[in-house]
Amino acid sequence: MLDDLDDIHPLFHGAPSTTEFKKLRKRIIRNVREAIEQYGMVERGAKWLVCLSGGKDSYTMLAALYELKWRGMLPVEIVACNLDQGQPGFPATVLPEFLEKMQVPHRIEYQDTYSIVMDKVPAGRTFCALCSRLRRGNLYRIAREEGCTAVVLGHHRDDILETFFMNLFHGGRLATMPPKLVNEEGDLFVYRPLAHVAEEDCEKFSRAMNYPIIPCDLCGSQDGLQRQQVKHILDGWEKNSPGRRQVMFKALTNIRPSHMLDPKLFDFLGLSLTDGEKIGTNPENSMEIPKLR
């Protein structure tokens, strides 16, 4: 089925032979491998439910995971999954046909969450929060039914940065999508192996491979979304200072609790001098710090 020896899996059938593409592919694989190793995503006897939306990111993730698996660097069992949420006009045959052709074990699940979202969300409000909760709940159920130990999502570096700034600007907290977490029930891991991969690289890769991209018309049709606003800001910063996104992402991996303001992360009250004469060491001068009223 494969045209030449450089193709290691049907997912890479027809891959461009240009030096530029080979560098891109190598960079993506390296970034995915780094994230998997750095955040300890592989456990003994692992079986992953790899979630596919049909977008550029999930296609890139699937291809990268299969290359690592082929190279013996990812000893896990993979089951691809697409959740058809009943969106009008959704091309329901695209992903099943693609996965069959690519010889990827998969499960296609139909759940009409679209009608629920349209019914519950007031006019003018964004669909993302409710849609995401319903989708996540179904994916957890499917993972349990398939005997999987982890749900694997295609969020990339830029998604993580955008979520950080959305929480900063609108949520009043410093938080983002972690590369690895345990669900609330405590029975499934959630992994994001594209955590170190730039969105631009996902787009270039999936376009070069000519994967059948399915746009998300449910949320993408809404104007003025907070995420789009943040993306526009980040695009401006990146244009004025190329490489700014990567610097900001690196900052998320280099946090100093003692230089922030959260007393739950750092014991400011217990902070004391380590040399010289300490306040309160002389019983005659000892005074309790008065409580503020």
Question: pLDDT value at position 2?
Answer: 38
Q: Is the pLDDT of residue 220 over 50?
A: no
Query: Does 1 map to a domain?
Result: no
Query: Does 97 map to a domain?
Result: yes
Cβ atoms of 227 and 162 within 8 Å: the answer is yes
Q: Is the pLDDT of residue 223 over 70?
A: no
Beta-carbon contacts of residue 74 (< 8 Å; ≥ 6 apart)? 36, 42, 65, 68
Total domains in the chain come to: 1
| For residues 200-224, average pLDDT | 79
- Known binding-site positions: 128, 131, 219
Question: pLDDT value at position 116?
Answer: 87
Q: Which range marks the domain in which residue 119 is found?
A: 13-259
CATH classification at residue 152: 3.40.50.620
Query: Does 126 map to a domain?
Result: yes
Q: Which residues of 191-229 are buried (b: 16+ CB within 10 A; e: fewer)?
A: bbbbbbbbbebbbbbbebbebeebeeebeeeeeeeeeee
Query: Does 285 map to a domain?
Result: no
Structure tokens at 232: 């526009």
Q: Is the pLDDT of residue 6 over 70?
A: no
Residue-wise pLDDT tens digits, 155-179: 999 999 999 999 999 999 999 999 9
Cβ atoms of 245 and 161 within 8 Å: the answer is yes
Return d(Cα 63, Cα 22) in angstroms, integer. Answer: 14
Query: Does 207 map to a domain?
Result: yes
Query: Does 157 map to a domain?
Result: yes
Token pair 């006009």 is found at 89
Cβ atoms of 206 and 58 within 8 Å: the answer is no
- Known binding-site positions for [4Fe-4S] cluster: 128, 131, 219
The per-residue DSSP string of 129-179 comes to HHHHHHHHHHHHHHHHHTT-SEEE----HHHHHHHHHHIIIIISS-----S
Q: Phi first, then psi: what are they for 193, rounded to 5°?
A: -70, -10
Return d(Cα 147, Cα 49) in angstroms, integer. Answer: 9
DSSP code of residue 216: -
Structure tokens at 184: 């609330």
Beta carbons within 10 angstroms of residue 253's beta carbon: 10
Question: pLDDT value at position 3?
Answer: 42
Q: pTM of this prediction? A: 0.87
pLDDT band per the 50, 70, 90 thresholds, residue 221: very low
Query: Does 271 map to a domain?
Result: no
Q: Is the pLDDT of residue 7 over 90?
A: no
| For residues 239-246, average pLDDT | 96
What does pLDDT average to over the chain?
88
Return d(Cα 98, Cα 100) in angstroms, integer. Answer: 5
Query: Does 183 map to a domain?
Result: yes
Largest CA-CA distance found in the chain, in angstroms, rounded: 88
pLDDT band per the 50, 70, 90 thresholds, residue 191: very high
Q: Amino acid letter at 193?
A: P
